[in-house]
Structure 1
Amino acid sequence: MAQPLLLLAAALLALALTLSGAEVPLADGEPLEPYDRLFDAAVNSYHRNDWQGVIINMERALKNQQVLYQVKTHCRLQCNNQTGFVSSASSRDFLFDLNFFNTVLRKAECLRACKSTRLGPDSLHQVTEETQLEFKRRTPYNYLQVAYFKIKKLDKAVAAAYTFFVANPEHLEMQQNLEYYKLMAGVKESDFTDLEARPHMESFRAGVRLYTDEQFLASIELFEKALVQYLQADMECRALCEGPYLFDGYSYMEYNADLFQAITDHYIQILSCRQNCAVELASRPGKEKPIDNFLPAHYDHLQFAYYNTENYEKAIECTKTYLLFYPNDEVMNQNQQYYEAVLGDQLARHIDAREVRIQVYINSSLLEKELLYFANEVFGITFIDPDAWTPENVMPVKLREKQKTERETAARISEEIGNLMKEIEHLVDEKTKESVEIVKMVREGGPVLYDGVQVVMNSKMMNGTQRGLMDGVITPNQCLELRMLSNLAASAGDGYRGKPSPHTPNERFQGVTMLKALKLAQDGKVPLSSAKLYYDVSEKVRRILESYYRLEKPLHFSYTHLVCRTAVEGKVERADLSHSIHVDNCILNSEALECRKETPAYTQRDYSAILYFNNDFEGGEFIFTELDAKSITARVKPDCGRLVSFSSGSENPHGVEAVTKGQRCGLAIWFTLDPRQTERRVLKAGREGERNLGEIQRVGSLWIEASDSSKEEVTSEQQNKQRVQEGGVELEQVAQRERNIEVRSRRKYLSNFSCRDEGL
């Protein structure tokens, strides 16, 4: 079996030689600086407000990434030309293996020499998947648009913002930035340019626009140009597939394949990558699905455009080329017959399909598919054909029969959908009844329990449901102490995987979790009284909400976070939000006016509360909106001791307007009605307390208690001694809770500046 595989491999590689382009001259010099190193340098410059450093390093990172791909492509195509495979005249040639691997070794030496001259050691350019993903999402342009805006280069800022937005159309803040740029003096429509646009896609789309407007002569030039660019891009894409073998997770630790199995595994992976080039080149940034039938569509458009310009020779040529992909297409066969009749049989019979290059493309692709289907049948390696034009006979008979059986099974299942839908409707009805019961359970307007706390606004006054605004929850001195704790103990981005600007690059975030405050108090780095106040205030808020909303079930802490957000520098004009509109326990789709309660949303959350510490800043108002994320229904201006609370569901989309000057601080708390989802069993009685956190320290007559931090002060020595014995923090449980939070944060944090949760 190995020899036929090698023969097919040699044949495919020989076919690939004809797709090689001209050599690209490369200047010798110092090894290329890794683009991930430049990216990190740019990010560091960003957090130092070194805008020139951001621009220089980020532009070089983008350029070096492209140079890296160009060098790899050039070297692989060059070495394919210089060290081509030669098919044996006889399948019984016993020297075939030696000849084959002689070529392999020479090709490897050629690649090593070519790449090392320009790139240096391969290890220099080993980039993490996380960094590759940042570049795929065009995150560098998010940094660049801010940096260019800061140095007043609006044309470049607009281009960078637009380039990022094309790949991230759901990014509300960037959309707002672009709307803001459109209103600025000196900004031209031509500035809104996609700097990462792929030539073949731009030419094709421009041709389609002219074609739709019936400007057929002009569209022909663009479609022909797009074809040349597509084939060049396909050649480069296929060359880049010849990289190292990619293991799935930690599977490399158990990988022990022999020579031919290892060759098969690696080569099948390369073939799969090459087949996927058809999908990659038909995909548009920001779009979920590629353009259907992309390459054949060029010839479909061309044949009709040539017909409308009465160029029947070219129309026949493009029709016949399209029929190479779909030989049984009824409409195209009729078109060909019509064009030949108009032109005349004598002239038409000498017109063939397009250049040999297209036929080579089709033949090599079909050979690849045969190998991949063979690997699927024999080794169970999954292959999903990306092309609709693949002839049925390329697929093995067993696989065709299997798919036929699957289609029949799917048909039977579809007959049962009606019954399943009825069952689903029944479940939805039951869920609706359950929701109604929950609403009945909530009877807003209960006592607030503490003297000095005043209800300022209720749900009706705030144009919503299950909303409340209260003042006087804590005193000015307590506000000052908690704010000092935040600034003294916080690290930039704590609670955001160390990202100082998780929601917007125009502000810096610093946060303190409960566990961190307790640890710092244990180490003597912050006053124990401040850590205790942090705990007591969060407990006070919990009791207020539980009473005010008259909940029949107790509230449990889901996540607690003391956080400040600071404008990057002095007051600036901004169109973005400090925290984009979101819902706390579901994924908001503002266009569809729906909110899906599913992963990665924090579906366990039932109530949310934010307690503010200060008002000496500009901007930063808390807003409620409708599900469209645009229609504002209520505003809350932060102030010391002011508490805004609300249910965490789709009835309460909310966000925070830009903080344009100063620092805005507060305590954000999320609650759950499910005791299994509680954040903390923080202070628990038991003798383990002394081992876990050390002896409880006394501060005046205040003590961190095990069961209820809101209990009255105890001053007697006897009671104090008993508390020292019974008090303590179950540190392991707290640490486990923090690890759980970190896991959720990793799952949540998908890109810079677009987090939904853990803000105010």
Structure 2
Amino acid sequence: MLRLLRLLLLLLLLPPPGSPEPPGLAPLSPAAPPQAPDLLYADGLRAYAAGAWAPAVALLREALRSRAALGRARRDCGALCAAEPGAALPAVPLDAPGRDSGPGRAQGAWERLLLRAALRRAECLTQCGARRLGPGGAARLRVGSALRDAFRRREPYNYLQRAYYQLKKLDLAAAAAHTFFVANPTHLQMREDMAKYRRMSRVRPQSFRDLETPPHWAAYDEGLELLGRQEAGLALPRLEEALQEILAQMESCRAGCEGPEEQQSEEEEEGAGSQGGLYEIIAGHWIRVLQCRQRCVGDTATRPGRSFPVPDFLPSLLRQLHKAHAQVGNLSQAMENVLSVLLFYPEDETAKKVLNEYQTQLGEPRPGLGPREDIQRFILRSLGEKRHLYYAMEHLGASFKDPDPWTPAAVIPEALREKLREDQEKRPWDHEPPQPKPLTHWKDVLLLEGVTLTHDARQLNGSERVVLDGLLTPAECGVLLQLAKDATEAGARSGYRGRRSPHSPHERFEGLTVLKAAQLAHAGAVGSQGAKLLLEVSERVRTLTQAYFSPERPLHLSFTQLVCRSAIEGEQDQRMDLSHPVHADNCVLDPDTGECWREPPAYTYRDYSGLLYLNDDFHGGDLFFTEPNALTVTAQVRPRCGRLVAFSSGGENPHGVWAVTRGRRCALALWHTWAPEHREQEWAEAKELLKEPEEEEEEEEEEEEMPSRDPSPEPPSRRLQRVQDKTGKLPRVREEL
């Protein structure tokens, strides 16, 4: 009932249909106390799954607002309580001489002071949280690690853009899509969605904006751009704003480190939340808080969608600031920023030289001129935390990866310096590269003469993948390419009949099945040589695929198609989509969860897939494999004549094709199955149709006379039948028609 009432309330907050709405996601009700983000997000996903687009939008937006309000409240309450009178430990000397002094007495005084300060801070934070967040405060809005990761990846905006699209709010859909895409630039489906939005005339250009851009990045980028145009006067305010926003963002991040979710995450990962006594638990939690605070430096310096932070973010910004101040004649402020750089790197010769130049230009010493106070506070606090963490590393076995290259050596205990130095200097080439596995480990594969193993699964960063070269000669590739061309001219395109590809509006797709090729050859529309070669090559691929992946279990062809993708001229500018989106061949891939559901409409009976390429005279069109999230590319293969890429058809091998931006890309696509009932019936029909009278007798006579009449090597598919293994037994590879 409570969820129903909340849903009705949020629906009332939605603007009426047809009302103008600016691009962006404005807060729904800023004065209302935030609700639990996890419940709102879960309800939003349920509404989305049910197709209730308006409630889904309301709930997801409120989840975003609640999450942001929780972060602001923690930051503000932390700053307020830290500045409260009496918040710090009183400066009472515990070892002062007196009648009651002694080890036990000093320990009792220390405990009382510590607990009194902790209780006062807890009381202040609890009261502040209740005022800002309602009864229960931050504890009521506790967020788990899974939801925290979802918000970090901006997943709510992915659902929002789809829901807005269904509601015909295209500007808002484009804004949400762009926001998600900025943080997930390799998300292939979103690349296609973005391309579609850009082609829509009703979507305004200003809609493509990042709704979650941290303020410091916007100011930083604009300041650097202005400085690059020699407009230092305009750049200075933006660079100063960037510095203040960076420090504010770090404070917000640090405040989040004290929240219950950080403790919850660590307890879930380590399972050690209740181990040890009072002081061990206090020390363990304090170490985790300090580790989190130190990570805030890297988090703040990492752009959305990037994996690594900008190196030396603060010192580099200070260098830009002193240059900008010097260009406009503010030498005193320029010196402040140079002195601040020297706090990070006291031996920086370039900074020392610039400082001397500024002092010479000023002429007389300026009393009180020193580094920036905000940078001094930042460094002193950071060094204090590092000392605690290095102490915990040395004496408690804690782990700590220092995010800063400027940490003075004096802060690091001598016992740890050598090990840390070795870790920093260690390079990948210090180790011998792994040796390739011997041939006997490759599942006793029987390679044809002239066919070479180019990449195995290990080299392709996956499982059940292989690249073989040499399956076709250039002449055979030419015959099959001519077959595709002749079939196109005969108007016999199967599949999509030469129309625009269903996967990309920028390409034309043509497909030719083995039966259609045989029918055209039988009618005289195309040469019989190409149609027969198509049959022979498909069996050649099946035989090799079985030998490599399934020597003990027969594979059958389930579908064979000669496919050509052609780039449409004049439609390739600023293209962002793929020739074929990421997918798996026998299951429905869900990139959001990484699951692959082996159910219709997928061809669930397909077990292995193969692509035999015929040419490479085109731009783009490379095959690539990804992780199950359809984001991370794990391997990429460039087509060439006679190259076969074979792989298992399940969710372990998601794959796609980069856009073909020029020329025509042709390949033979084949799918294999273990199930005899799903073997390709058209293949047998095509073979029967191409079979000429008394063909068997002619083949026997020709084979007997071949050594004397034609010394050239026989086709690989026939040679394979004669190959024997080292024991003299016939190979386990056998033809299954």
Query: What TM-score do you get using the length of structure 1 for normalisation?
Result: 0.56
Q: Which residue of 2 aligns with 1:45?
A: 47
Q: Which residue of 1 aligns with 2:135?
A: 120
SS of the aligned residue for 1:286 comes to coil
Closer, same or farther in 2 for the Cα pair 1:264/1:654, shift >3 Å? closer
User: Counterparts in 2 of 1:284-323, with a 5 A limit?
Assistant: 284-323=303-342
Choose the corresponding residue for 2:91, options 82, 88, 91. 88
Choose the corresponding residue for 1:351, options 361, 366, 369. 369
Could you tell me whether the CA contact under 8 Å between 1:271 and 1:372 is conserved in 2?
yes
Letter in 1 for 2:370: D
Q: Which residue of 1 aligns with 2:172?
A: 156
Deviations 1:623-660 (A, max 9, x none): 99999996399xxxxxxxxxxx9932799955799xxx
Closer, same or farther in 2 for the Cα pair 1:404/1:623, shift >3 Å? closer
Give how far 1:109 is off: 2.1
Letter in 1 for 2:388: L
Aligned length: 492
- The question of 1:229 aligning with 2:245 is answered yes
- The question of 1:647 aligning with 2:646 is answered yes
- The question of 1:188 aligning with 2:204 is answered yes
- The question of 1:171 aligning with 2:173 is answered no
Could you tell me whether the CA contact under 8 Å between 1:75 and 1:111 is conserved in 2?
yes
User: Counterparts in 2 of 1:565-576, with a 5 A limit?
Assistant: none
Give how far 1:226 is off: 0.7
Q: Which runs of 5+ in 2 are unaligned?
A: 1-28, 97-105, 454-467, 473-478, 486-492, 495-502, 504-537, 559-575, 587-593, 597-601, 624-643, 660-669, 679-737
Choose the corresponding residue for 1:403, options 408, 420, 423. 420
Letter in 2 for 1:44: R
Q: Which residue of 1 aligns with 2:67?
A: 65
Letter in 2 for 1:162: H
Q: Which residue of 2 aligns with 1:370?
A: 387
SS of the aligned residue for 2:94 comes to coil
User: Counterparts in 2 of 1:485-504, with a 5 A limit?
Assistant: none
Q: Tell me the percent identity.
A: 28
Give how far 1:216 is off: 1.8
Letter in 2 for 1:99: L
SS of the aligned residue for 2:252 comes to helix
Instruction: State how far apart, in whole Å, the 2-side matches of 1:325 and 1:191 are.
Output: 41
Instruction: State how far apart, in whole Å, the 2-side matches of 1:397 and 1:351 are.
Output: 35
SS of the aligned residue for 1:345 comes to coil
Instruction: State how far apart, in whole Å, the 1-side matches of 2:348 and 2:335 are.
Output: 15
Closer, same or farther in 2 for the Cα pair 1:427/1:361, shift >3 Å? farther
Instruction: State how far apart, in whole Å, the 2-side matches of 1:73 and 1:36 are.
Output: 20
Could you tell me whether the CA contact under 8 Å between 2:177 and 2:194 is conserved in 1?
yes
Instruction: State how far apart, in whole Å, the 2-side matches of 1:221 and 1:28 are.
Output: 29
Could you tell me whether the CA contact under 8 Å between 2:216 and 2:242 is conserved in 1?
yes
Instruction: State how far apart, in whole Å, the 1-side matches of 2:542 and 2:235 are.
Output: 67
Instruction: State how far apart, in whole Å, the 1-side matches of 2:30 and 2:173 are.
Output: 34
Instruction: State how far apart, in whole Å, the 2-side matches of 1:435 and 1:624 are.
Output: 21
Q: Which residue of 2 aligns with 1:103?
A: 117
Closer, same or farther in 2 for the Cα pair 1:325/1:669, shift >3 Å? same
User: Counterparts in 2 of 1:257-296, with a 5 A limit?
Assistant: 257-296=276-315
Closer, same or farther in 2 for the Cα pair 1:67/1:38, shift >3 Å? same
Could you tell me whether the CA contact under 8 Å between 1:624 and 1:652 is conserved in 2?
no
Could you tell me whether the CA contact under 8 Å between 2:318 and 2:341 is conserved in 1?
yes
Q: Which residue of 1 aligns with 2:348?
A: 329
Instruction: State how far apart, in whole Å, the 2-side matches of 1:270 and 1:264 are.
Output: 10
Instruction: State how far apart, in whole Å, the 2-side matches of 1:254 and 1:194 are.
Output: 38
Q: Which residue of 2 aligns with 1:130?
A: 146
User: Counterparts in 2 of 1:232-631, with a 5 A limit?
Assistant: 232-244=248-260, 245-246=263-264, 247-249=266-268, 251-252=270-271, 255-346=274-365, 348=366, 350-354=368-372, 356-404=373-421, 410=426, 414=429, 420-421=432-433, 424=435, 436-437=447-448, 549=543, 551-552=546-547, 553-555=551-553, 580-581=581-582, 631=621
User: Counterparts in 2 of 1:141-152, with a 5 A limit?
Assistant: 141-152=157-168
SS of the aligned residue for 1:388 comes to coil
Q: Which residue of 2 aligns with 1:211?
A: 227
**Cα RMSD between the aligned structures?**
4.8
Could you tell me whether the CA contact under 8 Å between 1:578 and 1:656 is conserved in 2?
yes
Could you tell me whether the CA contact under 8 Å between 2:582 and 2:654 is conserved in 1?
no
Could you tell me whether the CA contact under 8 Å between 1:316 and 1:336 is conserved in 2?
yes
Letter in 1 for 2:647: S
Closer, same or farther in 2 for the Cα pair 1:222/1:402, shift >3 Å? same
Give how far 1:273 is off: 0.9
Instruction: State how far apart, in whole Å, the 2-side matches of 1:79 and 1:264 are.
Output: 22
Deviations 1:556-580 (A, max 9, x none): 799x9xxxxxxxxxxxxxx978982
Structure 1 range deviating more: 121-130 or 225-234? 121-130
SS of the aligned residue for 1:327 comes to coil
Letter in 2 for 1:84: A
Give how far 1:144 is off: 1.2
Letter in 1 for 2:51: N
Q: Which runs of 5+ in 1 are unaligned?
A: 1-26, 446-456, 464-470, 473-502, 504-543, 561-574, 586-599, 603-607, 613-621, 634-644, 658-667, 673-679, 681-707, 711-760
Give how far 1:314 is off: 1.7
Instruction: State how far apart, in whole Å, the 2-side matches of 1:328 and 1:128 are.
Output: 44
Letter in 2 for 1:120: P
Q: Which residue of 1 aligns with 2:14?
A: none
Instruction: State how far apart, in whole Å, the 2-side matches of 1:652 and 1:90 are.
Output: 66
Instruction: State how far apart, in whole Å, the 2-side matches of 1:140 and 1:581 are.
Output: 22
SS of the aligned residue for 1:152 comes to coil
Letter in 2 for 1:399: L
SS of the aligned residue for 1:277 comes to helix
SS of the aligned residue for 2:83 comes to helix
Instruction: State how far apart, in whole Å, the 2-side matches of 1:211 and 1:435 are.
Output: 64
Could you tell me whether the CA contact under 8 Å between 1:624 and 1:653 is conserved in 2?
no
Deviations 1:408-466 (A, max 9, x none): 8x48x95x65xx35x74797999899795595899999xxxxxxxxxxx9999689xxx
Deviations 1:344-370 (A, max 9, x none): 134x4552222x232111111101100
Choose the corresponding residue for 1:78, options 77, 80, 86. 80
SS of the aligned residue for 2:341 comes to helix
Instruction: State how far apart, in whole Å, the 2-side matches of 1:81 and 1:626 are.
Output: 71
Closer, same or farther in 2 for the Cα pair 1:390/1:179, shift >3 Å? same
Instruction: State how far apart, in whole Å, the 2-side matches of 1:174 and 1:230 are.
Output: 29
SS of the aligned residue for 2:200 comes to coil
Could you tell me whether the CA contact under 8 Å between 1:624 and 1:655 is conserved in 2?
no
Could you tell me whether the CA contact under 8 Å between 2:605 and 2:673 is conserved in 1?
no
Q: Which residue of 1 aligns with 2:564?
A: none
